[in-house]
Amino acid sequence: MSDDNTRDIEQTIVTDFSERMSYGRYLALDEVLNAQHPLSRPEHHDEMLFIIQHQTTELWLKLVLHEITAARRSMAADDLRTALKRIARVKHIQEVMIQQWSVLATLTPTEYAQFRGSLGNSSGFQSAQYRAVEFALGNKNERMLTVFADDPAALAHLTAEWEQPTLYDEFLRLIARRGLPVPEAILTRDVREPYRASEDLVPVFRTIYENAERYWDLYEACEELVDIEDNFQLWRFRHLRTVGRTIGTKTGTGGSSGVGFLERALSLTFFPELYRVRTEIGQG
Known binding-site positions: 50-54, 112, 116, 239, 253
What residue numbers does the annotated binding site for heme cover? 239
What residue numbers does the annotated binding site for substrate cover? 50-54, 112, 116, 253
- The Cβ of residue 245 has, within 10 Å, a number of other Cβ atoms equal to 14
Largest alpha-carbon pair distance within the chain?
A: 76
